[in-house]
Amino acid sequence: MSKRYDIIVLGLGSTGSSITYFLARKNASNVLAIDARCSGCGQTSRSSALIRLHYTNPVIRSMAIYSWRFWREFQDHTGCEYSVFTKTGIAFVGPEDYVDTMNEIVHDIRSKGIEAYLYDPTEFKKEVYKNFNEDGIAGVAWEPESGYGDPNTSVRCFIEYARKNGVDVLEYTSVKKLLREDSKLIGIETEDGVIKGEIFINALGVWCNDLLATIDKQLPIKYAREDVIYLENPGDIDGIPPGWGDLVYGFYSRPDGATKTLVGTLEAEYVDNYDEPGEYTTPPMDVVNKRMEIFTRRFPDMIKARPSSVIYGYYDVTPDWQPIIGYDNEIENLIHMVGLSGHGFKLAPAYGEVISDIALYGKSKMFNVDEFKIDRFYVGVSKHSKYKYGIIG
Ligand SMILES: Cc1cc2nc3c(=O)[nH]c(=O)nc-3n(C[C@H](O)[C@H](O)[C@H](O)COP(=O)(O)OP(=O)(O)OC[C@H]3O[C@@H](n4cnc5c(N)ncnc54)[C@H](O)[C@@H]3O)c2cc1C
């Protein structure tokens, strides 16, 4: 006889592992969490993992604030041996027509008791960091307490906590098919047989449409490829740049430990196919040259930085670059937490909190996430960022 679970979490990246952790923390029983690879080995393993608060959407911003607090207190919440948060400070630099929005966001963050400032570029140079060229920048939204996370350790500790608290975790077990009867899912088929369930949580990231195809369903998700360049910092530079989101030139960067900096793009390069996320041993020079051109235009002293490697991964992007959260519109026991659109790592704690509530109590108690239901795409209500770059949210 096949085993039956109350809740089955599909996919154990930052999203599924956080959901699994929160289910365990809320004493959910009879839960299975399953992944085709090792947990955290999908797109999460490629993440630049910036943890910031600057979001134009107020609900996502409050989830970012909740998550930022959680990441900083990660060891207390999970009992993890290691800290997973590194503070670097993050500056968002924008042109004149973004300054009012930047100001609103900074005020809102400060109203929650968190440090945030809006500078003009000259003041920012005096007060915080000076080695950049001001071209096109009218405002700098500075979050001194933001930084970046450690995706692999976070996922490992979420899963360890869940296992210790009674969740069954199956890794290296691919779900081949979803099993549907009328408007309900009844189980999943793996290489080892059928597993039955009551509630199913889709945290499959870029792979979700592959599995949904087995029940003739597709979500409005496109795939965007993201190459991230890792640089060896020059030894003789007067302070390396802090975390940086450049809404003028369209790139982001952050320190990576004491000796490296990584640089990514805010532009979307949509693709039809995604392979296993990977790493180039020999960096592709066209990508490196293009990215270095804008990065060193902003930070001329970094011209001496040496590209050491490039990694690439994929974003699961919705039409408005905001996530799909909540029950499916047709299948009554399927909950989605996908379409994270390239900014989903930092929000994993909030997503776990929300989805565990929806699975256990029918609705999210902490955040009103109704605007992120799948239905919005069928009634044409876009939640796009107020900025040109949707990934900023
Ligand atoms: C290069 C890059 C840079 C990024 N930078 C940032 C950033 O700075 N800040 C930020 O907040 N976000 C960032 N993101 C986005 C963030 O990393 C992702 O949104 C997040 O990690 C996605 O997690 P996930 O759990 O939804 O997906 P994944 O980590 O991809 O997890 C999905 C899981 O589903 C499993 N799976 C798939 N198919 C099956 C199947 N048939 N059966 C069983 N299991 C299956 C996979 O093995 C995988 O482990 C970045 C992403 C990339 C690629």
Instruction: Mark whether 215 and 228 lie in a shared domain.
Output: no
Q: Are residues 141 and 238 in the same domain?
A: yes
Question: Any idea what the CATH number is for the domain that residue 385 is in?
Answer: 3.50.50.60
pLDDT band at 20, cuts 50/70/90?
Answer: very high
Q: Assess whether 139 and 228 both reside in one domain.
A: yes
Place of tokens 């670097």: 88
Longest dimension (CA), the chain: 70
Tell me the percentage of the chain whose pLDDT exceeds 90: 91
**What per-residue confidence (pLDDT) applies to 380?**
78
292, 313, 334 — which closes off a domain?
A: 313
pLDDT at 277: 85
pLDDT (0 to 100) of residue 112:
97
109 with 36, same domain: the answer is no
Pairing of strands 324-327, 278-280: unpaired
For 203-216, give one letter per residue: b (16+ CB within 10 A) or e. bbbbbbbebbeeee
Per DSSP bridges, beta strands 334-338 and 193-202 are parallel
- Pocket probe for ligand 1: among 207, 211, 391, the residue whose CB has the most ligand atoms within 8 Å is 207
Which ranges of 112-207 does DSSP label H, i.e. alpha helix? 121-127, 151-164
**Domain end residue (candidates: 313, 329, 362):** 313
Alpha carbon 248 to its chain centroid, in Å, reads 22
Pocket residues: Cβ below 6 A from ligand 1: 11-16, 34-37, 41-44, 46-50, 174-175, 203-207, 211, 226, 228, 264, 313-315, 340, 342-346
**In the chain, what are the helix, strand and coil shares in percent, each to the nearest 5?**
30, 30, 40
Which of these three, 313, 348, 370, is where a domain ends? 313
User: Residue 290 pLDDT more than 90?
Assistant: yes
**Long-range CB contacts (< 8 A, 24+ apart) of 363-367?**
366/66, 367/59, 367/62, 367/63, 367/66
pLDDT tens by residue, 207-242? 999 999 999 999 999 999 999 999 999 988 888 999
Q: Where are the alpha helices (DSSP H) in 9-91?
A: 14-25, 58-72, 74-78
Nearest to 61 by CA among 20, 100, 114, 18: 114
Could you tell me the end-to-end alpha-carbon distance of the chain, in angstroms, rounded to an integer? 46
Token pair, residue 100, equals: 């009012």
How far apart are alpha carbons 61 and 64 in whole angstroms? 5
Same domain membership, residue 295 and residue 228: yes
Please tell me the residue having the least CA distance from ligand 1 atom 27.
205
- Domain membership of residue 30 (yes or no) is yes
Q: Is the pLDDT of residue 1 over 60?
A: no
Average pLDDT score over the chain: 96
For residue 14, the ligand 1 atom closest to its alpha carbon is: 25
User: How far does the centroid of ligand 1 lie from the alpha carbon of residue 187, in Å?
Assistant: 23
Residues 257 and 350 in one domain: no
Q: Cα(63) to centroid of ligand 1, in Å?
A: 18
Mean pLDDT of 131-137: 98
Structural domain containing residue 294: 87-145+224-313
Task: State how far the Cα of 202 lies from the Cα of 344, in Å rounded to an integer.
Answer: 14
pLDDT surpassing 70 at residue 110:
yes
In a domain, 328, yes or no: yes
Q: Report CA(311)–ligand 1 centroid distance (Å).
A: 14
CATH number at residue 123: 3.30.9.10
338 shares a domain with 217: yes
What are the residues facing 245 on neighbouring strands? 92, 252
Q: Is 237 in the same domain as 139?
A: yes
Distance CA 84, CA 154 (A): 6
- Sole residue written with tokens 């993050």: 90
Q: Is the pLDDT at 181 greater than 60, yes or no?
A: yes
Q: Are 11 and 204 in contact (CB under 8 A)?
A: yes
* Bridge partners, residue 270, by sequence: 224
